[in-house]
Amino acid sequence: MSNDVAELKQYVLAHVSAQNASADGVLARIDDDGDGPRSWTTQWIRAGEEREQAGDLLAATTFYNLARFPFVDSPGRAEALRRCVAVFDRWRRTVPGIERLELRLPGGVVRAWAAGLSTTERRPVLLMTGGIVSIKEQWAPILPELARYGFAAVVTELPGVGENELRYDLDSAALFGVLLDAVAERADTSRAYALALSFSGHLALRAAPSEPRLRGIVTAGAPVAAFFTDKEWQAAVPRVTVDTLARLTQTTPATVFDHVRNWALTPQDLAGVRIPVAYVASGRDEIIPPADPALLRTHVRDFRTITHDDVHGSPAHFPHTRLWTLAQVLEMSGADPRHRAAVDGALAQVEGGRA
Interval 285-335: pLDDT, tens: 999 999 999 999 999 999 999 999 999 999 889 999 999 999 999 999 999
Q: How far apart are CA 182 and CA 184, in angstroms?
A: 6
Pairing of strands 99-105, 124-129: unpaired
Read off the pLDDT of residues 221-230 as tens digits, 9 standing for 90 and up.
999 999 999 9
Whether the per-residue pLDDT at 201 is higher than 70: the answer is yes
**Predicted confidence band at 353 (pLDDT cuts at 50, 70, 90)?**
very low
Whether the per-residue pLDDT at 354 is higher than 50: the answer is no
pLDDT given at position 99: 97
Read off the pLDDT of residues 77-127 as tens digits, 9 standing for 90 and up.
999 999 999 999 999 999 999 999 999 999 999 999 999 999 999 999 999
Q: What percent of the chain has pLDDT above 90?
A: 86
| Rounded mean pLDDT, 48-63 | 95
Whether the per-residue pLDDT at 155 is higher than 80: the answer is yes
**355: exposed, middle or buried (C-beta count within 10 Å: 0-12, 13-18, 19+)?**
exposed
pLDDT given at position 345: 94
pLDDT given at position 105: 92
| Rounded mean pLDDT, 340-354 | 82
| Rounded mean pLDDT, 47-51 | 94
Whether the per-residue pLDDT at 131 is higher than 80: the answer is yes
Read off the pLDDT of residues 159-191 as tens digits, 9 standing for 90 and up.
999 999 999 999 999 999 999 999 999 999 999
Q: What is the 3-state secondary structure (H, E, C) of the chain?
A: CCCCHHHHHHHCHHHHHHCCCCCHHHHCCCCECCCCCCEHHHHHHHHHHHHHHCCCHHHHHHHHHHHHCCCCCCHHHHHHHHHHHHHHHHHHCCCCCCEEEEEEECCEEEEEEEECCCCCCCCEEEEEECCCCCCHHHHHHHHHHHHHCCCEEEEECCCCCCCCCCCCCCCHHHHHHHHHHHCCCCCEEEEEEEEECCHHHHHHHHHHHHCCCEEEEEEECCCCCHHHHCHHHHCCCCHHHHHHHHHHHCCCCCCHHHHHHHHCCCHHHHHCCCCCEEEEEECCCCCCCCHHHHHHHHHCCCEEEEEECCCCCCHHHHHHHHHHHHHHHHHHHCCCHHHHHHHHHHHHHCCCCCC
**Residue 321 phi, psi dihedral angles, 5° rounding:** -60, -45
- Residue 48 near residue 91 (C-beta atoms within 8 A): no
What is this structure's pTM?
A: 0.94
Read off the pLDDT of residues 254-284 as tens digits, 9 standing for 90 and up.
999 999 999 999 999 999 999 999 999 999 9
Whether the per-residue pLDDT at 350 is higher than 80: the answer is yes
| Domains of the chain by start residue, with CATH | 5-90 (1.20.1440), 99-317 (3.40.50.1820)
**Average pLDDT in the chain:** 94
Give the chain's radius of gyration (CA, Å): 19
pLDDT given at position 355: 39
Cis before 267? omega within 30: no
- Residue 278 near residue 51 (C-beta atoms within 8 A): no
Read off the pLDDT of residues 7-28 as tens digits, 9 standing for 90 and up.
887 878 776 766 666 676 888 8
